[in-house]
Copies of this chain bind each other. A is one copy, B any other.
């Protein structure tokens, strides 16, 4: 059936083709078809005017004789359900409303589209995706699928994508690994589920940075573990402050979430020493470090450690689009058997549909090109936002950030005396801005005050406008 046919026609054909006839019943096939077609037309006023398939086509679809179909059509024409038009076929008659059952209430409209609001964090600018290229990769991957795509799926993911990720990690993150160590997941939450349900077990003491990604508390609670928040300082997490009895530490060394500080080399060495001495694991969440604007990126912690006591987490949500729902983890080789047996048991969750397309998108170099383009655009947006906020440099500590997709802006004393970050966040929400308060992402007492201003997903005009609105809030007397 071609796409150019009307929607009613498609529905009619779909419904006709769904009819099952049973030759073993006492009722004749003809009577069965007659009743089914009558019911269908009576129940669907929107079929008025729809064209029926040719008797030969319907007969073939239902595996019955054409004579039977023609007899049913003739009967229904005589009953007024159907009409014929000279030389053009059989249609549902327009005068059958008296036959209709009560019309179903009209379907409610779908939910309104909820746009992203400035200064939402953690979001790429999806309007800049290379859509035509991406769509072509999808089309090519599935037009004549590779045999492996239709065979028994590897619960660890599509192997060519795992290869492409290993190449990417070696080139961008100084993390050499075997593609077999890369495990595709449906996102960060599933990655943590694999770690906690499949590798470490529950009931564990997990050290987390404070502040941290708020969902981490939910994930730890849902997987039956206890989070131990450790306040970070201007150099990130200090392993010397980890209490005894910790089973694993979750850390964002490239760029601490949400403050943006990078863990310096001595702190990295200290953390790796701690892991070796205690036998604990370090889980490196490397969520957006590809967007680095100045200076050489530090190698990933997992690369430094040679994936011995580390598990590495990455995602395409920020590099490409959250629509993919594709993340991954890279596990030490000794943990692979447990990873596999866990995933064999619960089954893969990540769709295979995007995986071969993402693999060829990466192999073609278009992915790296996209990252570099986004890096230039995001760098410009960050400078633009800093310029736009310059009028309130007496109230906010404004510094360029060498990486990332949002600024974590700390307030100066004249502001902190008047307005908490929570209060600013609330007022911003009231006028259509989404500003996360830093204190809301702290679990420990003496919460840090700050504003998280995502800039990556918003063009410069939008950022200018939103900055004006934010300035008005900060300057307001009450």
Residues of A within 8 A of B (CB): 1, 3, 5, 7, 9-11, 13-15, 17-18, 20, 22-25, 61, 63, 104, 107-108, 110-111, 113-116, 126-127, 131-132, 134-136, 138-145, 147-154, 159-160, 163, 167, 171-172, 176, 178-180, 186-187, 189-190, 197, 215, 218, 222, 292-297, 321-326, 345-354, 357, 360, 363-369, 371-372, 376
A contact face: mostly helix, strand, loop, or mixed:
helix
Given B1, B116, B323, which contacts A353 in the complex, CB threshold below 8 Å?
B323
Most B-side CB within 10 Å, residue of A160, A180, A349, A357: A349
B residues less than 8 Å from A222 (CB atoms): 197, 346
Q: Chain B contacts of A293 at CB under 8 A?
A: 20
Partner of A116, one of B22, B107, B151: B151
Whose C-beta in chain B lies nearest to the C-beta of A43? B170
The reply to whether B151 and A347 contact each other, CB–CB distance below 8 Å, is: no
CB distance from A203 to the nearest CB of B (A): 14
Contacts of A187 in B (CB 8 A): 347, 349
CA gap between A171 and B145 in the complex, in Å: 31
> Which residue of B25, B325, B366 is within 8 Å of A350 (Cβ)?
B325
Q: How far is the CA of A114 from the CA of B154 in the complex (A)?
A: 9
Contact of A325 with B296 at beta-carbon distance under 8 Å, contacts A135-B139, A139-B136, A172-B18 already known: no
Residues of B near A366 (CB, < 8 A) are 1
Chain B nearest CB, measured from A469 CB (Å) = 20
When the two chains form their complex, are residues B143 and A132 in contact, meaning their CB atoms are under 8 A apart?
yes
- Set of chain B residues within 8 Å of A23, measured between Cβ atoms: 294
Query: Nearest-CB distance from A372 to chain B (Å)?
Result: 5
B18, B132, B138: the one contacting A135 at CB < 8 Å is B138
Cβ-defined contact, A353 with B354, below 8 A: yes
Q: Which residues of B have CB within 8 Å of A163?
A: 107, 110
A111-B159, A159-B110, A297-B20 given as contacts; is B349 within 8 A of A10 (CB)? no
B152 touches A116 (CB 8 A): yes
Contact B22 A296 (CB under 8 A): yes
Chain B residue contacts of A111, Cβ below 8 A: 154, 159, 180
Please indicate the chain B residues that have their CB under 8 angstroms from the CB of A147 in the complex. Answer: 113
For A367, the chain B residues whose CB sits under 8 A away are 14
Please give me the 10 A-B residue pairs with the lowest Cβ-Cβ distance, nearest first: A14-B368, A139-B139, A323-B352, A351-B351, A10-B365, A135-B143, A110-B159, A135-B142, A353-B354, A114-B152
Chain B residues with CB under 8 A of A5: 365
Contacts of A127 in B (CB 8 A): 150
What are 19 pairs between A and B in contact, CB < 8 Å? A1-B366, A10-B364, A11-B167, A14-B367, A14-B368, A17-B368, A110-B163, A111-B154, A111-B180, A113-B151, A131-B143, A150-B321, A186-B186, A187-B347, A218-B345, A222-B346, A324-B351, A325-B348, A351-B354
Which of A23, A140, A141, A142 has most B Cβ within 10 Å? A142
Residue with the greatest number of chain B CB neighbours at <10 A, chosen from A160, A367, A368: A368
Give A142 to B218 CA distance when docked, in angstroms: 33
Which B residue sits closest to A346, measured CB to CB?
A: B189
CB within 8 Å for A295 and B20 given contacts A114-B151, A180-B108, A187-B347: yes
Closest chain B residue to A224, Cβ basis: B224
Evaluate whether A351 and B172 lie within 8 angstroms (CB atoms) in the complex, with A163-B107, A323-B150 already known: no
Tell me, rounded to whole Å, the shortest Cβ–Cβ distance linking A219 to chain B.
Answer: 9
Query: In the assembly, what is the distance between CA of A14 and CA of B149, in Å?
Result: 27
Q: Which residues of chain B are within 8 angstroms of A368 by Cβ–Cβ distance? A: 13-14, 17-18
Q: Are A150 and B126 in contact (CB under 8 A)?
A: yes
Q: When the two chains form their complex, are residues B131 and A15 in contact, meaning their CB atoms are under 8 A apart?
A: no
Using A114-B151, A163-B110, A364-B10 as known contacts, say yes or no to A353 and B294 having CB atoms under 8 A apart.
no
Return the contact of A14 from the options B22, B171, B218, B326 (Cβ within 8 A).
B171
Contacts A151-B115, A349-B349; A363 near B7 (Cβ below 8 A): yes
Given contacts A107-B163, A325-B351, 12 further A-B contacts (CB under 8 A): A1-B364, A3-B360, A10-B365, A18-B371, A22-B294, A110-B160, A113-B148, A127-B150, A134-B142, A136-B139, A189-B347, A325-B353
